[in-house]
Amino acid sequence: MLITPRQDKLNKIVILNPKGGCGKSTLVTNLAACYANRGTIPAVMDYDPQGSTIAWLDRRSAELPAIHGIAAYKKSMQATRSWQLRVPNDTDTLLIDSPASIDHDDLRELTRDSTSILVPVLPSSMDIHAASRCIADLLLVAKVDRSDRKLAVVANRTRKHTKSFGKLMRFLDSLGIPIIAVLRDTQNFVRSAEQGIGVCEMPPSKVRPDIEQLENIVTWLDAWPDRKRDSTSTTAFNKRPGVARSLLNRIQLGSA
Ligand SMILES: Nc1ncnc2c1ncn2[C@@H]1O[C@H](COP(=O)(O)OP(=O)(O)O)[C@@H](O)[C@H]1O
Ligand SMILES: [Mg+2]
């Protein structure tokens, strides 16, 4: 069973979608680079046995702004689990990269005390189907209350004006979950993975549209205390359980 740190006042951001290749590690590493360049030291916690986020951090030059890395997928015999997973005191932002397969208990543990949950989604039918199941589990199993407004989607590797993009947008719209950014399909993210840097650390002229979208995400993430305070103005899914149930039915029927 998976364990996550319990620390007060920690901005715990979870990037989640059991579908491999949808962009979880890309988002975690690029957001971490954005936070690091603001002058605070963020931490990334990698629960995925593939260890892509920790491998990215290993490739990162020591001259770039620091990011703490916690390899949660590794089980150390020398240290207690809570020692291994401790978040350094100088860190107030934790970005969690999650594994491809995740059971219900782990989903509840991973999202417990989270301030924000981001679901990256690729615009293919299979990916949209997997994302809808993931969102249904977040609402019905992990009991994420939509009135907390901590759940958002990032559309990844999209080409606007394509049929699948339109389908993705209609689907998310029908759920009433915000799409806070649309990341284009670009080699900039591939290079960022290879070089241990964030796109925000690349020459601005080459990455302007990508930085714009990442900034949209950071702005949304930064607003978590306000979202929490101001949660009464939304129509809650959990106050309308029928919506979540009908989503699940649609998934089971294979029409989502
Ligand atoms: N917007 C994008 N444009 C181009 N390549 C991308 C983009 N997002 C992710 N990738 C690439 O797709 C692959 C899978 O992304 P990754 O973040 O590792 O997915 P996950 O962590 O969900 O398995 C990686 O090689 C990554 O560099
Ligand atoms: Mg990954």
Ligand found nearest the CA of 24: 1
- Which atom of ligand 1 lies at the shortest distance from residue 193's CA? 27
- Which atom of ligand 1 lies at the shortest distance from residue 120's CA? 22
pLDDT band at 247 (very low <50, low <70, confident <90, very high): low
Cα separation, 113 vs 86, whole angstroms: 15
Residue found under tokens 């989640």 = 16
CA separation, residue 177 to residues 21, 68, 146, 157 (Å): 22, 31, 8, 19
- Which atom of ligand 1 lies at the shortest distance from residue 97's CA? 21
Q: How far is the CA of 79 from the centre of ligand 1 (A)?
A: 32
pLDDT tens digits, one per residue of 112-121: 999 999 999 9
Strand-strand pairing, 93-97 and 11-15: parallel
Q: How far is the CA of 155 from the centre of ligand 2 (A)?
A: 16
The amino acid occupying position 23 is G
Ligand found nearest the CA of 47: 2
Q: How far is the CA of 98 from the centre of ligand 2 (A)?
A: 7
Are the C-beta atoms of residues 112 and 94 closer than 8 Å to each other? no
pLDDT tens digits, one per residue of 49-66: 999 999 999 999 999 999
Q: Does residue 18 surpass a pLDDT of 80? A: yes
Phi/psi at 192 (5° precision): -60, -40
Strand-strand pairing, 43-46 and 93-97: parallel
Q: How far is the CA of 26 from the centre of ligand 2 (A)?
A: 7
Q: How far is the CA of 200 from the centre of ligand 2 (A)?
A: 19
Q: Does residue 241 surpass a pLDDT of 70? A: no
Q: Does residue 213 surpass a pLDDT of 90? A: yes
Residue found under tokens 């907390």 = 148
Are the C-beta atoms of residues 212 and 107 closer than 8 Å to each other? no
The pocket around ligand 1, CB under 6 angstroms, is made up of 20-26, 52, 156-157, 183, 185-186, 189-190, 193
pLDDT band at 2 (very low <50, low <70, confident <90, very high): low
- 186 membership: H or E segment, kind and range: none
Task: Give, using CA atoms, the residue closest to atom 23 of ligand 1.
Answer: 21
Tokens of 103: 């059971």
Cα separation, 146 vs 82, whole angstroms: 30
What is the per-residue pLDDT for 236?
43
CA separation, residue 155 to residues 45, 120, 158, 196 (Å): 22, 6, 7, 23
Name the residue of 26, 27, 188 whose CB sits within 8 Å of the most ligand 1 atoms, as the mutation to test its pocket: 26
What is the per-residue pLDDT for 239?
45
What is the per-residue pLDDT for 248?
55
As a dihedral over the C-alpha atoms of residue 202, residue 26, residue 30, residue 219, rounded to 10 degrees, the angle is 120
Number of CB atoms found within 10 A of residue 75's CB: 9
Topology given in CATH for the domain delimited by 11-252: Rossmann fold (3.40.50)
Cα separation, 199 vs 211, whole angstroms: 7
Number of CB atoms found within 10 A of residue 150's CB: 22
Cα separation, 63 vs 75, whole angstroms: 29
Are the C-beta atoms of residues 145 and 235 closer than 8 Å to each other? no
